[in-house]
Chain A
């Protein structure tokens, strides 16, 4: 939506909102006008919170996770299993895995995937830090939990080679792919279904 030009302060806010992911010009305009309609205290509070955000949130110096205390809670917690590291693309991925409750190890956040087309090579990711960690810590297994996308697969494949070259005897694994729980065969896309069939498991005795 083109700004009318008589509200430059609001237009500037709308323009910034429109740069956020998932927010198009119409949503940005609606949000901007909504902000103006809010009580002054609420807008000011939001502004204050946003202002300090970049200073409060840092990357954990050990695992790269977003945190307010360095090292992060995962790296400090005595109850986490330090022998198994789950390597993910972003902090949000670690959060999803944590919510599953099935993982009690520690994380390593790469900060993205290899994508030469976008100028992202090994130097732009926390790969050196990962290799250092694997050399020094008592790590027995690494789960390469990058996404099953073209770039995620390539990143996993790249890490596999590097980690094997360390000759530490660390076990490498990757998440299984297949049907979602509570899913319906009818609504599963062909590729996922084909993979689930190829990687089927024998039924265990009840």
Chain B
């Protein structure tokens, strides 16, 4: 997968950008707050309709502008496509090859991208919510069918929670709650099965990269903790079939109905799941050093890249300022890993940070919301 041309108007702090990318890794160089990250975000936005920085459409549009526009011409599996996004304060409209995409589910899977960001550390240090979001973004890019299941699950969950909040004294409460169960269980089991499989494959891959990056005796491991079934899974074979998951999720929903009524929210299900990471047996969340966390984050992202590879088609890698904390050897091994078959966009604050590793790559200068070639 390769982006040939990218045009941006008023997205984040970029004013007007139109770039043709020659082959090779693209280096984006500029001081802080000039628009480097915005450029990477624009590409990720075309891939997922989300930004890791904000959930508000309004904040994606440059200050004092009414609308924003992004367009990319790219080659996917040998075929040229054009994907565009138009945003105003309320709506986002995506077009693939000129045709409007009606559902967000239709967007996923066309342009695939992996975002390496300094904020990736939150995958280790953040709340379970952060990890689920990161996992779901990867999962939906790999398997676009899942976005529909996720949305239906969330919708049914919100409705069931609304019942719990509104009807605490209704004699119909039992029936009203059970009305949402078939959907919750059907969609929930689908999400659970796919997300757990994806997570365990991701951790398996990350473990290998961690070994390679750190060249140490430490071992990165992890497990998927399912709240809906009260089970922990370490290997793919541990994950039960969809039918078994439905059965045990339903059983737990029923068991915890009283607690749900007291808490006025649904307390078990895939929306409460987590992935727990450990290094040589110790919780990464609690005990890992900053350097170890950084290495886990990079390893996980590299594993995500591998999971999104389809045939000869590699996802686009967006690498935002992640190397400044790494020593030269680790940096070198990281670049060896990413500078293979994927198109890579890398940001740096200054050219000296390249340390001779990327001297011959196409370079772009990002300054005050504009991007110009060379430096």
On A, residues with C-beta under 8 Å from B are 114-117, 119, 121-122, 150-151, 153-155, 157-158, 161-162, 190-191
Q: Given A116-B166, A190-B145: A151 and B159 within 8 A (CB)?
A: yes
- Pairs of residues from A and B, 5 with the lowest C-beta to C-beta distance, nearest first: A116-B162, A158-B179, A150-B155, A154-B179, A117-B162
Q: Given A116-B162, A121-B167, A150-B183: A161 and B175 within 8 A (CB)?
A: yes
Residues on B with beta carbons closer than 8 Å to the beta carbon of A119: 166
Residues on A with beta carbons closer than 8 Å to the beta carbon of B176: 114, 116, 121-122, 158
Q: Given A121-B167, A150-B152, A154-B180: A115 and B159 within 8 A (CB)?
A: yes
Q: Are B162 and A157 in contact (CB-based, < 8 A)?
A: no
B122 within 8 A of A: no
With both chains docked as a complex, state the minimum distance between the C-beta of A133 and any C-beta of chain B, in angstroms: 19
- In the complex, the chain B residue whose C-beta lies closest to that of A158 is B179
B126 within 8 A of A: no
Residues on B with beta carbons closer than 8 Å to the beta carbon of A116: 159-160, 162-163, 165-167, 176
Q: When A and B form their complex, what is the total count of cross-chain residue pairs whose Cβ atoms lie within 8 Å? A: 54
Residues on A with beta carbons closer than 8 Å to the beta carbon of B178: 157-158, 161
Docked Cα-Cα span, A154 to B175, in Å, equals 11
Docked Cα-Cα span, A5 to B165, in Å, equals 45
Q: Are A161 and B179 in contact (CB-based, < 8 A)?
A: yes
On B, residues with C-beta under 8 Å from A are 145, 148, 152, 155-156, 158-160, 162-163, 165-167, 170, 172, 175-176, 178-183
8 contacts between A and B (CB under 8 A): A116-B159, A116-B160, A117-B159, A121-B167, A150-B155, A151-B159, A161-B178, A161-B179
With both chains docked as a complex, state the minimum distance between the C-beta of B164 and any C-beta of chain A, in angstroms: 9
13 A-B pairs besides A122-B176, A158-B178, A161-B179 with CB distance below 8 A are A116-B159, A116-B176, A119-B166, A121-B167, A150-B152, A153-B183, A154-B156, A154-B159, A154-B180, A154-B182, A157-B180, A157-B181, A158-B179
Docked Cα-Cα span, A115 to B155, in Å, equals 10
Docked Cα-Cα span, A121 to B171, in Å, equals 13
With both chains docked as a complex, state the minimum distance between the C-beta of B190 and any C-beta of chain A, in angstroms: 10
With both chains docked as a complex, state the minimum distance between the C-beta of A195 and any C-beta of chain B, in angstroms: 11
With both chains docked as a complex, state the minimum distance between the C-beta of B73 and any C-beta of chain A, in angstroms: 25
Residues on A with beta carbons closer than 8 Å to the beta carbon of B183: 150, 153-154, 157
Docked Cα-Cα span, A190 to B165, in Å, equals 35
